[in-house]
Chain A
Amino acid sequence: MSQIKPSLQDLIGIEYIKLGFYRELQEKIIELQSSNLQLDIKQQHLQSIIDGITDVMATVSLDFKITSINRFYYDFFEEKDPIGKLCFNVFRQRNSVCPECPIFTALQTNQVQRQIVMIPIRGKIHHFEITASPLRKSDSYPIGVLILKRDVTLEKEYQAKLYQAEKMSTIGLLAASVAHEMNNPLTAISGFAQGLRRKLPVLKKNLDKSVSDEIEEYLNIILKECKRCKDIVQNLLDLGRIRQQKMTLLDLNSIIIDTVQLIRHHSKKRKKDFIKLRLYKQLPMIYGDISQLKQVVLNLLLNALDATEKKGDIIITTSKVGKELVEMSIQDSGVGIPKEYLDRLFEPFFTTKPLGRGTGIGLSTCYNIIKNHEGDIFVSSELGKGTTFTVQLPIKSIIALSST
Chain B
Amino acid sequence: MRVIKFSIPEIIFGIGSINYVGLCAKQLGAKKIFLVSDPGLEQAGWVSKIIDLLQKDDLQYAYYSDITTNPRDFQVHLGAEKYLSEQADVVVALGGGSPLDAAKGIALIASNGGQIRDYEGANKIQKPLPPMLFIPSTAGSGSDISQFAIITDVERQIKMSIISRTLVPNISIIDPYLLTTKDEKLIISSAIDALCHAIESYLSKIASPFTESQSLLAIQIIFKNLKPAIETRSLDHLCQLSIASTSAGMAFSNASLGAVHALAHALGGMFDTMHGLVHPVLLPHVMKFNLPSCKEKMAHIGKILTGENKPEYNTAMSAIEAIERFFSTFNINCRLSKIVKDKSKLEPVCKMAHNDACLLTNPREATWEDLLAICEEAW
Contact = CB atoms under 8 A, between A and B. Distances in A.
Interface of A: 1, 3-8, 10-21, 24
Contacts of B4: 12
A12 B123 CA distance: 10
B206 A4 contact: no
B360 A20 contact: no
Interface string B236-261: 00000000000000000010100000
Interface stretch (B135-143, B161-169, B339-347): B161-169
B321 to A, nearest CB: 31
A11 B122 contact: yes
B360 A18 contact: no
B5 A8 contact: no
A343 B122 CA distance: 92
Contact of B163 (A1, A11, A14, A21): A11
B51 interface: no
A4 B129 CA distance: 21
Contacts of B129: 19
A18 B168 CA distance: 7
A12 B7 CA distance: 10
A18 B164 CA distance: 8
Contact of A11 (B120, B127, B355, B361): B361
Interface string B108-138: 0000000000001111011111000000000
B206 A3 contact: no
B205 A4 contact: no
Interface centre among A8, A11, A17 (most CB of B within 10 A): A11
A3 B121 CA distance: 8
15 contacts: A5-B360, A6-B122, A6-B357, A6-B360, A7-B122, A8-B360, A10-B163, A11-B361, A13-B147, A13-B165, A14-B5, A15-B123, A17-B165, A19-B125, A24-B128
Contacts of B127: 19, 24
Contacts of A12: 4-5, 206, 254
Given A11-B206, A19-B129, A6 B3 contact: no
Contacts of A18: 7, 165-166, 168
Interface string B177-216: 0000000000000000000000000000110000000000
Contacts of A17: 165
Contacts, number: 66
A185 B16 CA distance: 131
Contacts of A21: 128
A234 B363 CA distance: 134
A15 B165 CA distance: 10
A7 B166 CA distance: 18
B86 to A, nearest CB: 20
A7 B256 CA distance: 12
Contacts of A24: 127-128
Contact of B128 (A1, A4, A11, A19): A19
A4 B121 contact: yes
Contacts of B147: 13
Contacts of A6: 121-123, 163, 357, 360
Nearest to A10: B122
A8 B361 contact: yes
Nearest to B257: A11
A3 B256 CA distance: 19
B128 A13 contact: no
Given A5-B355, A8-B361, A19-B128, A14 B121 contact: no
B173 to A, nearest CB: 18
A14 to B, nearest CB: 5
B233 to A, nearest CB: 37
A11 B256 contact: yes
A3 B355 CA distance: 11
A16 B362 CA distance: 22
Nearest to B359: A5
A8 B361 CA distance: 7
Contact of A10 (B3, B120, B123, B205): B123
A20 B3 contact: no
B268 to A, nearest CB: 18
A18 B361 CA distance: 22
Interface string B325-367: 0000000000000000000000000000001010011000000
A13 B120 contact: no
Contacts of B168: 18
Contacts of A19: 125-129, 165-166
Contacts of B355: 1, 4-5
A313 B120 CA distance: 108
Given A5-B357, A7-B360, A16 B120 contact: no
Closest 8 CB pairs of A and B: A6-B122, A10-B122, A19-B128, A4-B121, A19-B166, A18-B165, A16-B123, A11-B256
A15 B5 CA distance: 10
Contacts of A4: 120-121, 355
Nearest to A17: B165
Contacts of B121: 3-6, 10
A5 B120 CA distance: 8
B306 to A, nearest CB: 31
Contacts of B7: 18
Given A6-B360, A11-B357, A14-B5, 10 more contacts: A1-B355, A3-B121, A5-B355, A5-B360, A6-B121, A11-B122, A11-B360, A18-B166, A21-B128, A24-B127
A16 B357 CA distance: 17
Nearest to A22: B128
A104 B361 CA distance: 78
A9 B192 CA distance: 28
A3 B120 CA distance: 10
Contact of B123 (A1, A3, A8, A13): A13
Nearest to A3: B121
Contacts of A3: 121
Contacts of A15: 123
Contact of A13 (B122, B126, B360, B361): B122
B294 to A, nearest CB: 16
A246 to B, nearest CB: 95
Nearest to B29: A21
A303 to B, nearest CB: 83
Contacts of B357: 5-6, 11
A8 B258 CA distance: 12
B346 to A, nearest CB: 20
A11 B4 CA distance: 11
Contacts of A16: 123, 164-166
A140 B116 CA distance: 40
B312 to A, nearest CB: 26
